[in-house]
Structure 1
Amino acid sequence: MSTLTTILTVMGIVALQYFMASRKHFLWGAIIPIAYVFTMIYLYLSNYYNSLLSFILFLSLGLIFLFEEWNRGRKDRRKKENNELNKMKKKDL
């Protein structure tokens, strides 16, 4: 895979992670990190990575990015819900 394709793929996955994390139920955001862990384990068992250290590094960095997007999506979801509640309260007054 070329570098540009790899970067675009990673950006697409991170964007999809944010979208899924900002849905109403928080578990939608868990799908991509779980799939990522299983994919990384498969790649390690098929000897894609030369050392355990590189496997752990890529696994942890990927999970950090995915969990950060999950956290950001949940925060934005809560902010939207609070804004809607405030609008409803203003109309009632």
Structure 2
Amino acid sequence: MKVNRSTIRLAKWVIGRDKEEGASPPIREVECTTCMEKSPAETNQIDGDIWALQHTGRNGHTGYREIVTSFLRSRPAEGKPVGGRDQEQGTS
């Protein structure tokens, strides 16, 4: 995709959690730090927790790492329209 860099430079940008309609929620996995086996990737916390507790019961492993994948989106900052003038300071 070709990016029009001059348009991007005219705005102040922010990045944060993707809140667009249909955006994926964060995805969570729990990984055993002893054997590196992982829970299935899920969008809820309870499934990974249950997996870890069952894994502890089966193997005696007690250390886990939480891996969370969050989806971000960049957008022009509020009050800083693309191609417009800076509404707070009067500069572009």
TM-score (norm 2): 0.34
> In terms of Rg, which structure is larger?
2
Higher strand content, 1 or 2: 2
Higher helix content, 1 or 2: 1
TM-score (norm 1): 0.34
